[in-house]
Chains A and B, each alone.
Chain A
Amino acid sequence: KQEVTQIPAALSVPEGENLVLNCSFTDSAIYNLQWFRQDPGKGLTSLLLIQSSQREQTSGRLNASLDKSSGRSTLYIAASQPGDSATYLCAVTGGYQKVTFGIGTKLQVIP
């Protein structure tokens, strides 16, 4: 059974700092890995999707990497801003397009 772990559970950083969020998964047989952002009381917004054949994806200040063989992904956020404060969720898609989510990392960026 696929398990997804996100570390740390919570993170507080001053504005402007670069930061890394970690995600690990137990079964490397995946189609893709997605990073989502969730604001309180809202749905999930897709940030980046990395297909199993890819090593990384970039969007603006965000960069996500994937090491499928070791079961790890990182989300790098450059020059953090208060508007980046949210919960970040990692999810992997496996067989039958079943998606398994981590619990998330709650990020607070302090002005």
Chain B
Amino acid sequence: DGGITQSPKYLFRKEGQNVTLSCEQNLNHDAMYWYRQDPGQGLRLIYYSQIVNDFQKGDIAEGYSVSREKKESFPLTVTSAQKNPTAFYLCASSNRHTGPYEQYFGPGTRLTVT
């Protein structure tokens, strides 16, 4: 089955700790994205990557970091510099080279920082 997996589903951390969220896809998509979702707000783009070893900041990149060493994987690290890290994090991918650039989403990771 092709798709996107995110792990873990729930993550709890103490304030001041860095935490890494996993995102893996087997759709052979070049482009991958990380979004953050908060109650009452639309999805906001954190980082995106259109190709291996390249990524760009989205609208709310401060306090986050990513890497794209493999086509299939796009992990997101939430650092201690992120002021309000508690949120629902969604990973997505799309085919960069051909339209219609349909986005496919993973099941999400809910991060709680106390």
Contact = CB atoms under 8 A, between A and B. Distances in A.
Given A41-B110, A42-B108, A43-B108, A101 B102 contact: no
B101 interface: yes
Interface residues of B, number: 27
B94 interface: yes
Residue in A41, A51, A99 with the greatest tally of chain B CB atoms within 10 Å: A99
Q: How large is the interface on A (under 10, 10 to 19, 20 to 34, 35 or more residues)?
A: 20 to 34
A98 interface: yes
B105 A97 contact: no
Interface stretch (B38-46, B64-72, B78-86): B38-46
A70 interface: no
B49 to A, nearest CB: 11
Contacts of B42: 4, 89, 100-104
B110 A43 contact: no
B50 interface: yes
Nearest to A6: B42
Interface of B: 6, 31, 33, 35, 40-43, 45, 48, 50, 88, 90, 92, 94, 96, 99-108, 110
Given A36-B105, A41-B110, 17 more contacts: A31-B100, A32-B99, A32-B102, A41-B88, A43-B106, A44-B90, A51-B100, A89-B42, A91-B103, A97-B50, A97-B94, A98-B48, A99-B92, A99-B103, A103-B40, A103-B41, A103-B42
